Amino acid sequence: MIRKSIPFLLIAATLAGCTAGPDYAGPPELAAAGGAGGFIRAGDKVSSTVPELAEWWILLDDPGLDRLIEAALADNPSLEAVGARIAQSRASLAQESAGRLPSLGTQATALQGRLPGLDIQDGPPLPPETPGMAQEEEDDTISFYNAGLNANWEIDFGGGTGRRIEAANAQLAAAVANAEDARVQLTAEVANAYVNLREAQQRAVLYRKQSGLQKQIRALTYQRYQQGTLPLFPVGNANAELELLKSQLAEAEADEAVLLDALAVLTGRAPGAPSLEVAPIGEIPLPPERVAVGDPASLIARRPDIRAAERTLAAATARVGVAEAAKFPKLSFMGILGLGGTSPEDIFDVGEFSAIAIPRLQWNFLDFGRVDASIDRAGAARREAAANYRQNVLAALQDAERALARFAQQRAALAALIQVKRHADKSADLNRQRFESGAISRIDLNRTLREQEKANTDLARGRAALTLAWIAVQKSLGLGWQAPS
């Protein structure tokens, strides 16, 4: 039976070479407004050199930040979750790939059946009047016993299995890209929290200095009130300014506590964990003088969320072929090899070798539109994936242009704040000299010194804002994931 089935199986395998559905031809092309010349809002401090993919944060030259990001990449639960999703996608791919191969197993079969009209007696049929005919009435029964191996194999005429493997491959690549995007998001989030922490710490220190100066102003103002040289109103104003500084200090201290907890969670620890190694206070890191951003084309090719959307589109295209393959007939083949015969004793007789081949052809040519509806649904899902890809590209370009515009604006703002700080320093130096010569009072000097500390506070905010804008640029460029070696 197997020998007779071989030509039929070869023909079927040849027919199985056709593949249903459209071949994936790549994502739709979108032209950026900047064109090949680069981003519109790049500015003069931005280079068109293509940046490196990984470890952009080392450009900030802050060992504390480096340690925190390293801890986050090692212990953050969100990365563990995306890693598990990659494992799921790999298992799905292995499962779909195994569908092309026959399944082989062991079996034991006992078959008893009665088929009226079936004549399985040995020799020519006997006439009705033959003696002993009554004993031959059981010749329409069949018995079969077998123990051995069985194999099942389905031949894919429409290429549905190949399309399922293609979709699984694309989904695996999308899962990997999503993991890379999670790494990008995580590194940026840790850097943002760290810079905000340093800014809050410096803000708290400067508010404490201002509060000390303001306490002296309030005390001296109250002395002058008691001496009758000032009315009570300036005392109230001095006290109100001191209370405002106290509230600002409390806000800075609360920000510090919240950001420490955020860093603890990002690095896989409980809020308030004592093992979080962050210096009590430190300088706000500043970005390099020039920034490499590449161009829109390199951005589209590099950002992992865009690559994930592109692979999702490829998977959706392959699923159209899976749906269309249902229109083709299905041929399954089952084979049995083993020992057996018409009696149970035959399965122990090595001379009773049996082989059975059972081909089965199935074709649902009338399904009242079920397959067509499935094809329409897969086509709509593909159009949705294409639209999502276009939206991802446009959002990425918008993100990059916005980040570059903010970065340029923060550079200008920081330059202005540096000038304000210089003027405040000069005023403080001059008023110290005037105070030492007796030209102004301690109250006047302290007010000048408060303005100097206020300029320091504003400058710290400006430094943090510039670094945060630079981090946003790195995030918008899709940097921070490790390129495969």
pLDDT in tens, 374-404: 888 989 999 999 999 999 999 999 999 999 9
DSSP character string of 27-55: PPP---TTGGG--TT--TTEE-SPPPSS-
Judge contact between 296 and 39, C-beta under 8 A. Answer: yes
Distance CA 84, CA 90 (A): 10
Give how far Cα 302 sits from Cα of 52, 183, 261, Å. Answer: 10, 14, 32
Please say if the pLDDT value at position 422 is more than 70: yes
**DSSP 8-state class, residue 469:** H
| Residue 287 φ then ψ, to 5° | -75, 165
- Which of the two residues, 42 and 311, has the higher pLDDT score? 311
pLDDT reported for residue 2? 44
pLDDT by residue (tens digit) across 238-288? 999 999 999 999 999 999 999 999 999 998 888 876 656 676 778 899 999
pLDDT reported for residue 1? 43
* Least confident residue range of 48-62, 179-193, 326-340, 427-441: 326-340
Locate the DSSP E strands across 101-140: 103-114
- At position 284, the amino acid (one-letter code) is I
Residue 192's contacts (CB-CB under 8 Å, 6 or more residues apart) are: 468, 471
* Least confident residue range of 130-134, 225-229, 254-258, 268-272: 130-134
> In angstroms, how far is the first alpha carbon of the chain from the final one?
53
Distance CA 407, CA 135 (A): 101
- At position 245, the amino acid (one-letter code) is L
pLDDT reported for residue 91? 87
Q: How confident is the model at residue 134 (pLDDT cuts 50, 70, 90)?
A: very low
**DSSP 8-state class, residue 296:** H
Q: What is the dihedral of CA 161, 162, 163, 167, to 10 degrees?
A: 100
Judge contact between 30 and 393, C-beta under 8 A. Answer: yes
Token pair in block for residue 96: 């779909």
pLDDT reported for residue 349? 64
pLDDT reported for residue 315? 92
* Least confident residue range of 110-119, 155-164, 179-188: 110-119
| Sole residue written with tokens 């799905």 | 92
Q: How confident is the model at residue 36 (pLDDT cuts 50, 70, 90)?
A: low
Q: Which residue, 308, 289, 260, is CA-closest to 481?
A: 308
Distance CA 85, CA 171 (A): 10
β-strands 330-341, 103-114: how paired?
A: unpaired
* Least confident residue range of 63-72, 334-343, 344-353, 467-476: 344-353
In the chain, the percentage of residues whose pLDDT exceeds 90 is 42
Q: What is the largest CA-CA distance in the chain?
A: 149
Alpha-helix runs per DSSP H in 76-231? 77-98, 160-226
The per-residue pLDDT of the chain, averaged, comes to 82
Token pair in block for residue 51: 């940046």
Residues 84-98, mean pLDDT to the nearest whole number = 82
pLDDT by residue (tens digit) across 171-215? 998 999 999 999 999 999 999 999 999 999 999 999 999 999 999
Q: Which residue, 192, 313, 315, is CA-closest to 263?
A: 192
pLDDT by residue (tens digit) across 437-482? 989 999 999 999 999 999 999 999 999 999 999 999 999 988 887 7
pLDDT reported for residue 44? 61
Q: How confident is the model at residue 234 (pLDDT cuts 50, 70, 90)?
A: confident
**DSSP 8-state class, residue 155:** E
pLDDT reported for residue 257? 92
Distance CA 372, CA 358 (A): 30
